[in-house]
Amino acid sequence: MHFSATILRPDELALRDEVRAFLAAELPGDRLPGLGMANDHDPDFSRKLAGRGWVGMAVPSEYGGHSRSAVDRFIVTEELLAAGAPISAHFVADRQTAPTLLSFGTEEQKREFLPRISAGECWFSLGMSEPDAGSDLASVRTSARKVEGGWCVTGTKVWTSGAHLNHYFAVLCRTSPLDGDRHEGLSQLIVDLSTAGVKVSPIPYLNGHHSFNEVVLEDVFVPDSMVLGDVGSGWKQVTSELAYERSGPDRFLSAFTLVQAFVAERAAGRLADDAARVVGQVAADFWAIRQLSLSVARTLDAGGAPAVESALVKDIGTRFEQSVVELVRSVADTEVGPDAGSVFEQLLAEAVLTSPTFTLRGGTTEVLRSIAAKGLTR
């Protein structure tokens, strides 16, 4: 296991300055910022960002992307998250689907999807969890039977964020019957969410927000050309996919705009001692944890495979960002309500209601810990 504090190069610092200038120009000063990944779906903003070359950064230019490094991607992503920018339309497609397509997709799939993802115009959801399969993802029951020219998929996916807004979802399903090793016989199929037989229904959050959906598939036809990678490679692909989403800035910056708003609103004059202590403590943690995450990006660019480091950083980051919400609340001396008051107070309400998800999405703390522990004892 190896982490190292990395120095950003002049070109990387210049990129950061560009993104900051872009955000200062594009985002109105009085808008309500998002909380990390969970922010507004804004096709216009996604397109503008793509126009600057900041979507599809990891995609090679031959596929419509920009052949940028993981560190460049980190720099852009952290600026967007720190500003609470409305990136949710393209975020999953860019961050997860594109790398999966690059690693495992057919040439046809790469040419079909990558340019459109890089333009910020093709959005993906993830079809993984089911009512009976969450942490135990290998136990998915959605199945596909072979038919002429493709597959016929039947099953139910839940917690499918953005399925009501997105174009496609990558469905993990069983393409061969269970026979011994349950990690065998799983495949990922790219399903057009507007196909006949696909029914998307909202599953409202406890605060009424619509992000989650249930997606029921009833004999949905998926052509052979839309099997992502090889038939039977689903488990391998999905576990590598989960590794990509493990340790980027979206895993520790979810509560940043909350702290920023607190400091901006309360600091006129001087903070009360208890509030100052919280600000100092969380600033130190943001600073340190960011460097662990950046170190992973640098390692990826150097060709490394930082599996343990990624799991560790995601666990550290997500538990940290969750704790930030409670720390800020404890010194805010306010009653939290969703409609009332300032930017800070609105963000606090949103953060309190949604912070449980920080340690659930993309792998729960409990699962991450097992992965990290295995890696540490190796």
Partner 1 sequence: MSDDRVAVSEAVTEILRNHSAPEDVRRTESQGWNEELWSILASAGFTLVSVPEVAGGSGGDIASAYAVIEAAGHFAAAVPVAETSVLGGWALAAAGLELPAGPTTVGTGAPKDDLWLQQRPSGWRLSGRLHRVPWARQAERLVLLVAYEDGHRVVSLPTSGLDIRPGTNLAGESRDDVVLDDVPADTNAPAPSEVNLTQLRLRGALARAASTAGALVRMSELTTRYTGERHQFGRPIARFQAVQRHVVRIAERAQTTAIAVECAAGNACPNPDFFDAASAKIVASRAATVAAAAAHQAHGAIGMTKEYELGQLSRRAWSWRDEFGSETRWSLELGQHLASDPDSFWPRISLGRHESAPHTGRTAPTQA
| Chain residues in the site for partner 1 (CB under 8 A) | 1, 3-8, 13, 16, 78, 82, 256, 259-260, 263-264, 266-267, 270-271, 273, 275-281, 283-292, 294-295, 312, 315-316, 366, 369-370, 372-373, 376-377
**E strands, 284-359, where?**
none
Contact criterion met (CB below 8 Å) for 343 and 331: no
Nearer to partner 1, 8 or 336 (CB): 8
* Nearest of 211, 210, 168 to residue 190 by alpha carbon: 168
Residue with tokens 């419509």: 64
Rounded to 10 degrees, what is the CA torsion of 210, 92, 327, 359?
A: 90
Query: Which residues share a beta bridge with 223?
Result: 150
Quick one: 140 or 282, whose CB is closer to partner 1? 282
Nearer to partner 1, 193 or 372 (CB): 372
Residues written for the chain: 378
Instruction: Tell me the C-alpha distance between 156 and 140, whole Å.
Output: 9
Cβ nearer to partner 1, comparing 276 with 307: 276
The distance of closest approach from Cβ of residue 129 to partner 1 in the complex, given in angstroms and rounded to an integer, is 21
Q: How far is the CB of 284 from partner 1 (least distance, A)?
A: 4
Q: How far is the CB of 209 from partner 1 (least distance, A)?
A: 26
Q: Are strands 186-192 and 143-147 parallel, antiparallel or unpaired?
A: unpaired
Element spanning 301, H or E: helix 273-301
Q: How far is the CB of 283 from partner 1 (least distance, A)?
A: 6
Tokens representing 9 are 């190069």
Backbone angles phi, psi at 54, to 5 degrees: -110, 15
Closest contact distance (angstroms) between CB of 80 and partner 1 is 12
Q: Which helix H or strand E contains 45, and what residues bound it?
A: helix 43-51
Q: Based on CB atoms, which residue is closest to partner 1, 20 or 210?
A: 20
Task: Report the chain's terminal Cα–Cα distance, integer Å.
Answer: 10
Minimum CB separation of residue 285 from partner 1 in Å reads 7
Q: Which is nearer to partner 1, 171 or 294 (CB)?
A: 294
2 versus 179: smaller Cβ distance to partner 1:
2
d(CA 316, CA 146): 43
Residue closer to partner 1, measured from CB, 190 or 294: 294
In whole angstroms, how close is the CB of 13 to partner 1 at the nearest point? 5
CA neighbor of 351 nearest in space, from 366, 332, 364, 369 = 332
Q: Find the shortest distance in angstroms from Cβ 77 to partner 1.
A: 12
- Which CB contacts under 8 angstroms, 24+ apart, belong to 293-297? 293/74, 293/247, 293/248, 293/249, 293/251, 293/252, 293/317, 294/6, 294/71, 294/74, 295/3, 295/4, 295/5, 295/6, 296/3, 296/247, 297/69, 297/70, 297/71, 297/73, 297/74, 297/248
Nearer to partner 1, 165 or 263 (CB): 263
Q: How far is the CB of 65 from partner 1 (least distance, A)?
A: 25
